[in-house]
Amino acid sequence: MTPLQKSEALIEALPWLARFQGAVVVIKYGGNAMTEEHLREKFADDVVFLRYAGLRPVIVHGGGPQINAALDLHGIASHFTAGLRVTTPEAMQVVRMVLVGQVNRDVVGLVNRHGPFAVGLSGEDAHLFTAARKHAVVDGIPVDIGQVGEIVEVNPGAVRALLADGRVPVVSSIARGHDGQIYNVNADTAAAALATALGAAKLVVLTDVEGLYADWPASDKVIRRITAGELARMLPTLSSGMVPKMEACLHAVQGGVPQAHVVDGRQPHVLLSEIFTDEGIGTMVLPDEGDIP
C-alpha cells in the first residue's frame, strides 16, 4: 500500500471513528479466527486498534474445537441430542477447565502482547451470567441434556468497571444457576445477552462463512442487510449451524442494540473492515423501522 492509499484509508475511517467514539462493541470470537495462528494474531491486533481508536471492545468466546480435543484426551465420549451436546458433570468439568483455564488465557495473552489491556472473566464471576437448565426437544418432548444452560439474567457491573478502567474484558461462556449448578452456554447467545445488557452500539459475530446466504446451497449470494422481522421469518429455513448466530443477532437488535453483524472470521482484519469502511462486510441485522428510536 502506498502512502497515499494509507492516507485515504484513514480518511475513510474518520466518520466511523467519530460515530463510535466511546461506544461499546461486543465481539463473539470463534471459528477459524480462533484456531488459525495468523488469524488469532490479526484478531488481537484489531481489538487493540479498536481500544486505541476510542472504542470499548468486549470479547465473548466459546471453544468447541478445544473442548472436543480435551474430551477425547480424557476419554469422554461426546453425545449430541437435537444438535446439542449432552453435558454430564464429568464433561462439564472439562468444558469449564478448557474455556476458563485454556481458551480464555490464550485470548487474554494475545491481546496483552500489545499492553496491559485484557482481563479474563468467566460468566460465573460476579454472577455475570445466570442460567437455567436448557432441554433439547425431540419429537416435541423435552429431553434432559445435562449441564447445558440458557441465560436468564445478566449482571454486567464487573464488565462495566473494567471498561471504565480502560480494559478489554474477555468473557468465557460459562454461567452459574440459581440451583448452584455450573452450565455451559452457547457463546453466540451469551454475546447477544451481554451486548443487550451493556447497551452496546454493535454486536459482531465472527463465523466461518461470508455472512447469511439468501438461498443456500442454491446460491452463495450474501444478504448484506436484513431487518429483524425479515430475519425472524427466515430463521426456520436456516441450516443448524447458522441458527444460533442469527438468533443472537435477532435477540440483540430486539433488545435495543442498534445493529448486529455476522462476518467472516477467516478474513484478516475483518473487524476493522466492518467498523471503519463505507462498504462494511458480511450481513448486518437492523431493527424493524418502527423499533428504531
Report pLDDT digits (tens) over 12-65: 888 888 889 999 999 999 877 888 888 999 999 999 999 999 999 999 999 988
End-to-end CA distance of the chain: 40
In the chain, helix, strand, coil percent, each to 5?
45, 25, 30
Residue 205 · residue 263 · CB < 8 Å: yes
Residue whose C-alpha is closest to residue 269's, from 2, 24, 65, 1: 1
Bridge-partner residues for 203, per DSSP?
26, 260
Spatial separation of the C-alpha atoms in residues 43 and 280, rounded to whole Å: 17
Burial of 212 from C-beta contacts in 10 A (0-12 / 13-18 / 19+): buried
Predicted pLDDT of residue 292:
56
Answer for the pair 36, 143: CB distance below 8 angstroms, yes or no.
Answer: no
Query: Which residue in 199, 190, 198, 200 sits closest to 29, CA to CA?
Result: 190
Low-confidence ranges of the chain (pLDDT < 70): 278-280, 290-293
pLDDT of residue 126: 96
Question: According to the model, what pLDDT value does residue 291 have?
Answer: 62
CA 290 to chain centre: 26
CA separation, residue 214 to residues 7, 176, 188 (Å)? 36, 37, 21
Q: What cell numbers appear for 51 in the block?
A: 481500544
pLDDT tens-digit map of 182-193: 999 999 999 999
Which pLDDT score, from 0 to 100, does residue 290 have? 62
Cell of 69: 480435543
